[in-house]
Amino acid sequence: MELYFLGTNAGVPTLQRNVTSIALRLLEERRSIWMFDCGEGTQHQVLRSPIRLGKLEKIFITHLHGDHLFGLPGLLSSRGYQGGTSPLTVYGPPGLKAYLDISLAVSQSRIPYKIEIVEHTGGTVFEDEGFKVEAALLEHRIDSYGYRVTEKDSPGSLNTELLKSYGLKPGPIYGKLKKGEDVITDEGVRICAADVVREPKRGRIVTILGDTRPCSGALELSLHADLIVHEATFAHDLAEMAHQYHHSTARQAAELAQEADAGQLLLTHFSSRYSSFEELIPLLEEAELIFPETLLAEEFSAYPIYRRQNGQLGK
């Protein structure tokens, strides 16, 4: 489970950075990829990355500003040409369906797979036996949503060494114990599942926020997350401008991560005024003063999502 950044710039692309798009790689967990936002040029970024559109299962759009949306019609079309045949679901605010229907119809795009478009206004937007995705409204110039992806806890593993001491070999009894059922061996020995099954493995939580000022919705989605992706459009010396344009500073992102008791913070969505990566270092430094576990997102870079153990990051 890791994040891969395809675009980290705000507003418009530059020669150094493309506009927003993030891939959540769930190759071990469900052999698929989820994408969050799809700014113009995302399909070109994909070609330069290890991302394979045939594995793309879901796309979550935070809001309908062009730097988060204009790449979607092209990417959906390219997916078909790159061998994508499995169904794809796109989630986003009201208006998303009209945008895609018109774009694909007018361009006569051929989509050789089923697309489901799910418009929402927050709440639980997806859930199955492995994952739950919740959305909440943020504070931006138009309706903008953040997403909280929760990996559900996995059952604890069997203590096979202890089972061997009972003379048991892998088989149906192992399966019953794994399900939490107590068993009685052929020798009449009762084995309690609680004694031979280890603690469940806690699922990870990753929060990916759309464009926003500091707000209660961002905190709600971020509480106790293992990793938060937060916009840092400006350094804090431009806090007044950030507020005026409904954005956040790096320091404000760090304050949220601290209040949310998060494990790690990834900053992205940087203003074009910071043209080089070196010019982003002051944003990182101001955030680290408040929340040390902060990183700057770099394009074409992967960031594993670690679960915290006893308050510390661990694999």
Binding-site sequence positions for Zn(2+): 63, 65, 67-68, 140, 211, 269
For the question of residue 186 being annotated catalytic, the response is no
* Residue count of the chain: 315
Strands laid side by side in the 227-231 sheet: 123-127, 131-137, 145-151, 205-208, 227-231, 265-268, 294-296
Residue positions in the annotated binding site?
Answer: 63, 65, 67-68, 140, 211, 269
Strands laid side by side in the 21-26 sheet: 115-119, 88-92, 56-60, 32-36, 21-26, 2-7, 302-304
Q: Which amino acid, 68?
A: H
End-to-end CA distance of the chain: 10
Q: What secondary structure letter does DSSP report for 306?
A: P
CA distances from 96 to 14, 30, 64, 112 (A): 26, 26, 7, 20
Given 67, 128, 226, 261, which residue is catalytic? Answer: 67
204 in Cβ contact with 132 (< 8 Å) = no
Classify residue 44 by burial, with Cβ atoms within 10 Å: 0-12, 13-18, 19+. middle
Active site residues: 67
